[in-house]
Copies of this chain bind each other. A is one copy, B any other.
């Protein structure tokens, strides 16, 4: 075996090439969800499966195991926050996971999830759960096999969750959710009892799609999205993806009869994009240049969408732009009515459109259902009924069809089991970080009112983006805020807003 310095250099070179290959898959996924014509589905699935197999084969090569072992025993990784230690630690983690997956399972997973996403899109359009059920069944069965390969005999859900939120467990998550549920249910109950209703009709007027897109671009650029290194396109389900250095892309969808969907959806994806555009390019393809976790990624999107985008000061700057873009729809609308309308708190059907307060109940429900299906306590066939029962129980509403019920999200079709809880983690981290940014930066509201978002973005770049995976989510929370993850900042924020708007 070569010396540790040579071994590390070879490891880095290999990892970068594997990431380059992986980034080709990202281009295919992007195209799949934005351009690919219907008849090309099968061929695209074959392309993705081939890439997944090749990437997996390269990453699981024994040579990587040898290189890791050599470097791990050396001085190079002595300081845990050094670039080398970060790269080696996270590569070891992923390597151990990947080497336990047989290539046949990797290929089948890629092909199945690609076709299942396609089936989901069709099923959602016609609200036809039955046509999607066999695909969902197959995806869950493959994820069970994956979990059993990675950690035989252990909690399957925790094994899958760990992929998205390293170190997190379902037991911990249940505690976190419980600490939120009581206060949230209480708050939402008070709001409903107040009898006050936001003037949401304002947002349901005619908002032409082209003008929405123009405003979305303008807003994304204003908060810091670099269009020279990024793209905003359209797709059925909005998402953000990075295809490589200098190429971060996001999508949105435009509903001409509802302002909120595209505007806040774009701000949300912009939050994700700002994180990706802020990661250190010189470490591309290595853990040191990657995002901490999905929860931390989501903290960025939720901060820009909700804590910034739904603030009174944000609209002091942007309402005039919205009025210029939609003179008819916004004619005579007051600042207060607009602010109240974009902060409507009310149980609703669609997670991505849910308000800041009820959002976590949507997540909690999915968290429970996906565990039940994975553990075979709930059959896929019974999902629609169980979904609707829980919607009734937690939110008091019943979806009129599966398109607005259990078919609304893309995640499960793509194999994202254990993914949903990271959304609530994102909300919690966002509020906690934002509280600290206020302390560090002074009067954020005065800045927002002037359209100045650079100080906040700079703070996020310095404190979060630039570090890549150097610190875990928990470490990051402690380094930045001096405290471990806590539900208090989010609850404080929500209580304050509810008090202001609903007098509760």
Across-interface contacts of A36 in B (CB, < 8 A): 231, 247
Q: A40-B243, A245-B42, A247-B36 are known contacts. Are A47 and B31 too (CB-CB below 8 A)?
A: no
- Indicate if the CB atoms of A20 and B37 lie closer than 8 Å: no
A285 to chain B, nearest CB (A): 10
Interface string of A211-235 (1 = CB under 8 A from B): 0000000000000001111110100
- A229 CA to B44 CA, complexed, in Å: 12
Interface residues of A in 27-53 (CB under 8 A from B): 27-28, 30-31, 34-44, 46-47, 50-51
- A20 CA to B244 CA, complexed, in Å: 22
- Indicate if the CB atoms of A246 and B24 lie closer than 8 Å: no
- Indicate if the CB atoms of A27 and B47 lie closer than 8 Å: yes
Contact of A40 among B20, B31, B40, B245 (CB under 8 A): B245
A49 to B, closest residue via Cβ: B20
Across-interface contacts of A249 in B (CB, < 8 A): 35, 37
A325 to chain B, nearest CB (A): 19
Interface residues of A in 127-173 (CB under 8 A from B): none
- A229 CA to B35 CA, complexed, in Å: 11
Across-interface contacts of A31 in B (CB, < 8 A): 27, 30-31
Across-interface contacts of A20 in B (CB, < 8 A): 46-47, 50
- Indicate if the CB atoms of B228 and A43 lie closer than 8 Å: no
Across-interface contacts of A46 in B (CB, < 8 A): 20, 244
- Indicate if the CB atoms of A247 and B27 lie closer than 8 Å: no
- Indicate if the CB atoms of B35 and A24 lie closer than 8 Å: no
Contact of A368 with B by CB under 8 A: no
Across-interface contacts of A37 in B (CB, < 8 A): 227-231, 246-247, 249
- A210 CA to B30 CA, complexed, in Å: 25
- Indicate if the CB atoms of B23 and A24 lie closer than 8 Å: no
- A20 CA to B21 CA, complexed, in Å: 15
Across-interface contacts of A21 in B (CB, < 8 A): 50
Contact of A353 with B by CB under 8 A: no
- Indicate if the CB atoms of A51 and B24 lie closer than 8 Å: yes
- A164 CA to B249 CA, complexed, in Å: 35
Across-interface contacts of A75 in B (CB, < 8 A): none
Contact of A6 with B by CB under 8 A: no
A218 to chain B, nearest CB (A): 17
Across-interface contacts of A284 in B (CB, < 8 A): 43
- A88 CA to B134 CA, complexed, in Å: 41
Q: A37-B229, A37-B230, A230-B37 are known contacts. Are A244 and B44 too (CB-CB below 8 A)?
A: yes
- Indicate if the CB atoms of B233 and A39 lie closer than 8 Å: no
A20 to chain B, nearest CB (A): 5
- Indicate if the CB atoms of A40 and B233 lie closer than 8 Å: no
A210 to B, closest residue via Cβ: B210
Contact of A66 with B by CB under 8 A: no
Across-interface contacts of A44 in B (CB, < 8 A): 244, 247
A34 to B, closest residue via Cβ: B35
- Indicate if the CB atoms of A39 and B226 lie closer than 8 Å: yes
Contact of A488 with B by CB under 8 A: no
Across-interface contacts of A231 in B (CB, < 8 A): 35-37
- A141 CA to B443 CA, complexed, in Å: 60
* Further contacts, 7 of them, CB under 8 A, given A37-B229, A37-B231, A40-B243: A20-B46, A36-B231, A38-B246, A39-B229, A40-B244, A42-B245, A43-B284
- Give the interface of A toward B (CB within 8 A): 17, 20-21, 23-24, 27-28, 30-31, 34-44, 46-47, 50-51, 226-231, 233, 243-247, 249, 284
Q: Can you show 10 pairs from A to B with CB atoms below 8 A apart? A: A20-B47, A27-B47, A34-B35, A37-B249, A39-B226, A39-B245, A40-B243, A40-B246, A42-B245, A46-B244
